Amino acid sequence: MTSVPTESETAAEAAAPDDTPTAGRGGRRGWLLAIAALFVGALLGLGVGLLVPRLTTPGDDSVEAGFLRDMAVHHAQAVEMSMIAHEKSDNPEIVYLASDIALTQHGQIGYMQAWLRDWHLSPTSTQEPMAWMPDSAGSVVNGLMPGMATPEQLADLRKATGKDLDVQYLTLMRQHHLGGIHMAQEAQKLSHNSDVKWLAGTMVTSQQGEITVIDNLLKKIQGTE
């Protein structure tokens, strides 16, 4: 005997979801939406990754640009003094130290100038020396940055010979390094650029080590060791 569905059973069947084909379509649509969202997110991430370095490139009046420009000038004098000592000294230890300082600082000048070019900035600035460093009043004396030798001191170094040359070179370079370390430590504190912070840290470490060598050489040459 065939049963006739009741009115309530017919209504229940009409209300029940047809989850075979519809669920499949809905599931596929959900996956497609999820994949699309991930794809769009990846594109946005890539775009931000390409854009952020451009937005964060140091500007013309930045700490990074000021430090690199000033330190390149500072280094150039160290190279000049070291070449004088390398050429004129009779002491093999002085010759070796002068060669090491000249090569190291000349190489660092190359890094600094290359970064300025990459940032589309001039290697020179119209700003005053040390303008990038807060509270730098008094750091520049007669246009010279911390530790730099005066024109008169450089002239005396060029004329000096023998032990006098060695002592003058070591004394001037010690003072030069102390000034350079001060500048580099400030750059480490103020800069947000990882390359500049790395280079400044390298300068601090190498020049502190060279000051120890300089002190030992001065003691030996002056007979106080």
Same domain, 66 and 45: no
| pLDDT at residue 135, as a whole number | 83
Cα angle for residues 205, 151, 134 (degrees, 5° grid): 50
Assigned domain for 10 exists: no
| pLDDT at residue 43, as a whole number | 46
Same domain, 174 and 194: yes
Reading phi first (left if > 0) and then psi (alpha if -120 to 50, else beta), residue 147 is in left
Same domain, 42 and 119: no
Same domain, 167 and 210: yes
Q: Which domain holds residue 32?
A: 25-55
Same domain, 136 and 178: yes
User: Cα(176)–Cα(181) distance, rounded to whole angstroms?
Assistant: 9
The model carries a pTM of: 0.75
Give me 189's structure tokens: 């504190």
Assigned domain for 16 exists: no
Same domain, 74 and 29: no
- What is the chain's pLDDT, residue by residue, as a tens digit (225 residues)? 444 444 444 444 444 444 444 445 555 556 555 555 555 454 444 444 444 444 578 999 999 999 999 999 999 999 999 999 999 999 999 999 999 999 999 999 999 999 999 999 999 988 899 999 998 878 899 999 999 999 999 999 999 999 999 999 999 999 999 999 999 999 999 999 999 999 999 999 999 999 999 999 999 998 865
User: Cα(216)–Cα(123) distance, rounded to whole angstroms?
Assistant: 36
CATH number for position 132: 1.20.1260.10
Amino acid at 48: V
Same domain, 74 and 142: yes
User: Cα(83)–Cα(64) distance, rounded to whole angstroms?
Assistant: 28
Distances (CA, A) of 36 to 22, 45, 69, 85, 164: 21, 14, 48, 67, 76
Give the number of other CB atoms < 10 A from CB of residue 53.
8
User: Cα(56)–Cα(191) distance, rounded to whole angstroms?
Assistant: 12
Assigned domain for 175 exists: yes
Provide the domain count of the chain.
Answer: 2
| pLDDT at residue 27, as a whole number | 57
| pLDDT at residue 22, as a whole number | 47
Same domain, 44 and 96: no
